[in-house]
C-alpha cells in the first residue's frame, strides 16, 4: 500500500502540474494580449480613433481567442471603444465620446466578418470607464493586472478583466486596455478538466469558498453536493497540515487531494484543488503493477524514442517559428500553411505570430512599404533628423486633371487614379527610387537615399522615360473602356538636399527638402510653358 500510495501521489503531482499548466495557458494569453495591445497603442502603431482599423483589430482578438468576451480601451478623458461578443457569430461595437459636445454613444451590431448589421446613436451617456474596477486597478498598480471578480455591464454577468495601463513618454496615464472573460466560461473550462471519471477539479479562495459557490448568483452553482463536501473536507485538511499532496478519509472512504496556489487574479488568493477517490487510482495501479514490471524495459526504450521524436518535432517547430519571426522583421507577410501544432505553448506562439502578421500587414498599407523596408534593411531607427545628401528628385503631375475628374463619380475617380498610381509607383521602384509621397494627383520621388546610388540621376531619367511608356499602355487600355486620356509633366533636378525624418514624436515622414527639391517641382510646372513632357535641370544633364 505504501508503494501504491506513493505512486498515486506522483500521479496526482503530475496531474496537478498539467491541470495548472492548462489553467495558466487559458488565462496567460489574455494578459499578454493586453500588454501587446497597450504597447501598439502607446507606440501609435494602432490608434483607437482610426475607427475601421481599430475595430478590426479588436474583432480579430475575439476571433483568435474564443474565451474573450469583450476587448476595449478607455482613455483618461472617458472615451471608450469596445467590441463585445453578443451571440453566435454576432458582435457589438460600442464607441463612447465623452469629449465631444454634446457627448454621445455609437452602437453597432456586426456579423462575424465585421459587417455592420445595425447602427444606433444615443445622446445619453451613462458609462464612464474611469470608474470601472479594471481601470482603477490598472491605474493603481501601474502595470498589467487581473481585476477582482465584478459585474460586467456588457454582458450583464460576473467575470474578471485583464488590464494594462498605457502611458505617454512623459509617464502620464493616457488610457487602459482591457480584455474580459466571464466567470461562466471560466468555470466551464475548470469543470471540463478531468483526471478520472470521478475526479473533481475546482478553484477555492483562502476563505475556503469555491469560486463557483461564492458567486453562485451568476448561474454557476451547479455543483454536486457530494463534490462540494469533498472540497470542504479536503481544504480543511490542507489548512491543517499545509501539505500540497495528501490522502484523507471522509465518511469511510479514502481520497487523494492535491492543492497548488495559482498566480493572483486580483486581490484574492486562489488555490487550484484536485480530488480523486483513492479507488480510482489505487485500483488501476494494482491492476497494472505486474504489467509495468514485465514491460519496463520496453516502455523505457519506447519512451526514449518518443521523447526523441517529440523533441525533434518541437525543435523543427521552433526553427520554423524563428524563420517566420525573421521574415516578419523583414516585412515579409506571406502566410504559409503549416501542419497543425498539438503543443499548446507553440500553438499560442504561432497564433501570436499570426495576429502580429495580420496587424502589421494591415498597417503596412498606410506607410511607404518599400521605404520602410529599406530603412529596416539598413538598421536605421526612425527619429527626427536628416543629413545633406546628393540626390536626384522627380516631380510628376497630371495635366489638367481637375477638368478631367469633374465629370467622374467619386468611386470611379479613385479607382482610375489608383490604377495610375500603381503603374507609376511600380516604375519608381523598378528603377531603385524612393517614393516620397502622393500630392493630390502628383508624385514625388527621389534617388540616392536612404540607399546610396552612384547613378541616381540616370535612374531618375530612365524612370521618367519608362513612366511615359507605361502611361501610353494605360491610355490604350482606358480608351477601350471609354475613359479619358492622361498626359503627365515631369521635372527632374539633381543636387544636395536634406534627407531624413520630419514631423512630431508620434508621426514621422521620411522626405527630402531644400532648394534642389524645390527646383525639381518648378521644372515640372515649367513643362506647361514649353508644352513638353519632361524637363531636366543642367545639374542632372551633366551627371547623365
The string of DSSP codes covering 473-537 is HHHHHHHHHTPPP--EEEEEEEEEEEEEEEEETTEEEEEEESHHHHHHHHHHHHHHHHT-SEEE-
pLDDT tops 90 at residue 464 = yes
Grid look-up 484543488 returns 273
The mean per-residue pLDDT over the stretch 417-446 comes to 91
Give the whole-angstrom CA distance, residue 488 versus residue 92: 48
Across the range 256-270, mean pLDDT stands at 68
**pLDDT confidence of residue 393:** 96
Helices (H) and strands (E) in the chain, counts: 15, 19
**Interacting residues of 66 by C-beta distance below 8 A, sequence separation 6+:** none
> Contact at 8 Å (CB) between 237 and 258?
no
Q: What DSSP string describes 445-463?
A: EEESSSS--TTHHHHHHHH
> For residue 136, what pLDDT is reported?
92
Q: What pLDDT shows up at residue 220?
A: 38
Please state the pTM of the whole predicted model: 0.44
Q: Is 90 exceeded by the pLDDT of residue 538?
A: yes
Rounded mean pLDDT, 451-471: 94
Q: Are 493 and 540 in contact (CB under 8 A)?
A: yes
Contact 232, 214 (CB under 8 A): no
Instruction: Calculate the average pLDDT of the chain.
Output: 80
Structure confidence at residue 8 as a pLDDT band (50, 70, 90): low
What cell was used for 378? Answer: 539598413
C-alpha cell at 306: 518518443
Query: Look-up: residue for cell 515640372?
Result: 524
Q: Does residue 15 surpass a pLDDT of 90?
A: no
Residue 517: the pLDDT is 94
Is the pLDDT at 518 greater than 80? The verdict is: yes
Residue 223: pLDDT over 60: no
How far apart are the C-alpha atoms of 292 and 285, rounded to whole Å? 9
pLDDT at 53 over 70: yes
β-pairing verdict for 253-261 and 488-504: unpaired
CB atoms within 10 A of CB 310: 12
Instruction: Give residue 299's pLDDT band: very low, low, confident or very high (50, 70, 90).
Output: confident
Question: What's the whole-number mean pLDDT along residues 525-537?
Answer: 95
Q: What is the pLDDT of residue 355?
A: 63
Decide: 164 and 117 in contact? Cβ < 8 Å.
Answer: no
Mean pLDDT of 153-176: 86
**Residue 52 parent element (H or E):** helix 51-64
How many beta carbons lie within 10 A of that of residue 518, not counting itself? 14
Residues 6+ away with beta carbon under 8 Å from 165: 38, 138, 139, 141, 142, 143, 173, 175, 176
Q: What is the mean pLDDT of residues 135-155?
A: 83
The whole-number average pLDDT for the span 502-512 is 75
CA atoms within 13 A on the CB side of 27: 27
Say what percent of the chain tops pLDDT 90: 31
Contacts of 83 (CB under 8 A, 6+ apart): 55, 58, 59, 61, 62, 70, 71, 72, 91, 92, 93, 94, 110
Inform me whether the pLDDT recorded for 73 exceeds 90.
Answer: yes
272 with 259: CB under 8 angstroms? yes
Q: Are 272 and 16 in contact (CB under 8 A)?
A: yes
pLDDT over threshold 60, residue 60:
yes
Residue 280 or residue 374, greater confidence:
280
Nearest partner of 441 among 394, 395, 491, 393, judged by Cα: 395
Poorest-pLDDT segment among 32-36, 276-280, 336-340: 336-340
- Higher pLDDT: 17 or 97? It is 97
- Say if residue 450 is preceded by a cis peptide, omega within 30 of 0: yes
Are β-strands 488-504 and 534-536 bridged in parallel, bridged antiparallel, or unpaired?
parallel
Name the nearest CA neighbour of 265 among 164, 183, 147.
147
Which of the pair, 381 or 534, is modelled with greater confidence? Answer: 534
Are 94 and 126 a contacting pair, CB within 8 Å? Answer: no
pLDDT value, residue 404: 82
Minimum mean pLDDT among 81-90, 194-203, 358-367: which range? 358-367
Task: Measure the CA–CA gap between 438 and 266, rounded to whole angstroms.
Answer: 51
Q: Name residue 239's beta-bridge partners.
A: none
The pLDDT of residue 379 is above 60: no
Where residue 374 falls among pLDDT bands split at 50, 70, 90? low
Report the alpha-carbon distance of residue 245 to residue 16 in Å, rounded. Answer: 9
CB 112 within 8 A of CB 93: no
Q: What is the DSSP letter of 339?
A: P
Task: Identify which of 66-75, 262-271, 371-380 has the greatest average pLDDT.
Answer: 66-75
What pLDDT is attached to residue 516?
94
Residue showing cell 490598472 = 138
- pLDDT-derived band at 252 (thresholds 50, 70, 90) equals confident
Among 32-36, 316-320, 380-384, whose mean pLDDT is lowest?
380-384
Lowest mean pLDDT among 175-184, 424-433, 524-533: 175-184
Asked whether the beta carbons of 204 and 271 are under 8 A apart, the reply is yes
Calculate mean pLDDT across residues 535-540. 96
pLDDT at 290: 61
pLDDT at 28: 80
Res. 385 pLDDT band, cuts 50 70 90: low
pLDDT band at 305 (very low <50, low <70, confident <90, very high): confident
The predicted model gives 223-241 an average pLDDT of 70
Q: What local confidence, expressed as pLDDT, does residue 286 receive?
A: 56
Report the Cα–Cα distance between both ends of the chain, in Å, rounded: 94
Find out whether 72 and 57 touch, Cβ atoms under 8 Å.
no
Would you say 179 and 74 are in contact if contact means Cβ atoms under 8 Å apart? no
Confidence of residue 219 (pLDDT cuts 50, 70, 90): very low
Residue 120 DSSP symbol: E
What pLDDT is recorded for position 505? 65
Amino acid at each position: 500500500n505504501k508503494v501504491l500510495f506513493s505512486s498515486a501521489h506522483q500521479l496526482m503531482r503530475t496531474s496537478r502540474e498539467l491541470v495548472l499548466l492548462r489553467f495558466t495557458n487559458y488565462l496567460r494569453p489574455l494578459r499578454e494580449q493586453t500588454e501587446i495591445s497597450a504597447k501598439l497603442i502607446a507606440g501609435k502603431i494602432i490608434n483607437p480613433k482610426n475607427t475601421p482599423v481599430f475595430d478590426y483589430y479588436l474583432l480579430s482578438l475575439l476571433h483568435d481567442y474564443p474565451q474573450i468576451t469583450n476587448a476595449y480601451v478607455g482613455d483618461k478623458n472617458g472615451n471608450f471603444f469596445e467590441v463585445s461578443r453578443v451571440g453566435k457569430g454576432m458582435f457589438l461595437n460600442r464607441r463612447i465620446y465623452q469629449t465631444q459636445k454634446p457627448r454621445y454613444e455609437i452602437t453597432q451590431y456586426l456579423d462575424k466578418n465585421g459587417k455592420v448589421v445595425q447602427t444606433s446613436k444615443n445622446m445619453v451617456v451613462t458609462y464612464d470607464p474611469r470608474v470601472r474596477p479594471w481601470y482603477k486597478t490598472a491605474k493603481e498598480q501601474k502595470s498589467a493586472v487581473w481585476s477582482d471578480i465584478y459585474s460586467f455591464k456588457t454582458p450583464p454577468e460576473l467575470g474578471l478583466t485583464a488590464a494594462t495601463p498605457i502611458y505617454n513618454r512623459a509617464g502620464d496615464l493616457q488610457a487602459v486596455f482591457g480584455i474580459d472573460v466571464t466567470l461562466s466560461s471560466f468555470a466551464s473550462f475548470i469543470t471540463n478538466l478531468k483526471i478520472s471519471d470521478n475526479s473533481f477539479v475546482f478553484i477555492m479562495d483562502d476563505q475556503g469558498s469555491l469560486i463557483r459557490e461564492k458567486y453562485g448568483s451568476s448561474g454557476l452553482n451547479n455543483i454536486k453536493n457530494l463534490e462540494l463536501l469533498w472540497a470542504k473536507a479536503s481544504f480543511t485538511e490542507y489548512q491543517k497540515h499545509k501539505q500540497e499532496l495528501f490522502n484523507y478519509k471522509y465518511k469511510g472512504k479514502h481520497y487523494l487531494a492535491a492543492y497548488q496556489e495559482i498566480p493572483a487574479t486580483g486581490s484574492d488568493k486562489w488555490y487550484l484543488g484536485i480530488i480523486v477517490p483513492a479507488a480510482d487510482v489505487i485500483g488501476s495501479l494494482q491492476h497494472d503493477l505486474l504489467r509495468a514490471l514485465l514491460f519496463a524495459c520496453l516502455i523505457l526504450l519506447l519512451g526514449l524514442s518518443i521523447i526523441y521524436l517529440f523533441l525533434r518535432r518541437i525543435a523543427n517547430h521552433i526553427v520554423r517559428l524563428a524563420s517566420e519571426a525573421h521574415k516578419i522583421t523583414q516585412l515579409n507577410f506571406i502566410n504559409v500553411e503549416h501542419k497543425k501544432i498539438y503543443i499548446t505553448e507553440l500553438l499560442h506562439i504561432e497564433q501570436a505570430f499570426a495576429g502580429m502578421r495580420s496587424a502589421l500587414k494591415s498597417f503596412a498599407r498606410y506607410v511607404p512599404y518599400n521605404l520602410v523596408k529599406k530603412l529596416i534593411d539598413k538598421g536605421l531607427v526612425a527619429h527626427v533628423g536628416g543629413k545633406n545628401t546628393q540626390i536626384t528628385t522627380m516631380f510628376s503631375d497630371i495635366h489638367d486633371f481637375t477638368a478631367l475628374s469633374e465629370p467622374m463619380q467619386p468611386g470611379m475617380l479613385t479607382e482610375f487614379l489608383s490604377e495610375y498610381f500603381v503603374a507609376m509607383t511600380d516604375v519608381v521602384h523598378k528603377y531603385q527610387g524612393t517614393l516620397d509621397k502622393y500630392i493630390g494627383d502628383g508624385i514625388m520621388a527621389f534617388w540616392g537615399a536612404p540607399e546610396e546610388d552612384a547613378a541616381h540621376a540616370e535612374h531618375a531619367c530612365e524612370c521618367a522615360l519608362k513612366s511615359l511608356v507605361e502611361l501610353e499602355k494605360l491610355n490604350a487600355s482606358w480608351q477601350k473602356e471609354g475613359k479619358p486620356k492622361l498626359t503627365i509633366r515631369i521635372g527632374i533636378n539633381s543636387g544636395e538636399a536634406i534627407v531624413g525624418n520630419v514631423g512630431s514624436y508620434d508621426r514621422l515622414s521620411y522626405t527630402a527638402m531644400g532648394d534642389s527639391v524645390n527646383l525639381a517641382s518648378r521644372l515640372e510646372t515649367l513643362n506647361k510653358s514649353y508644352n513638353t513632357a519632361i524637363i531636366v535641370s543642367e545639374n542632372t544633364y551633366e551627371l547623365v
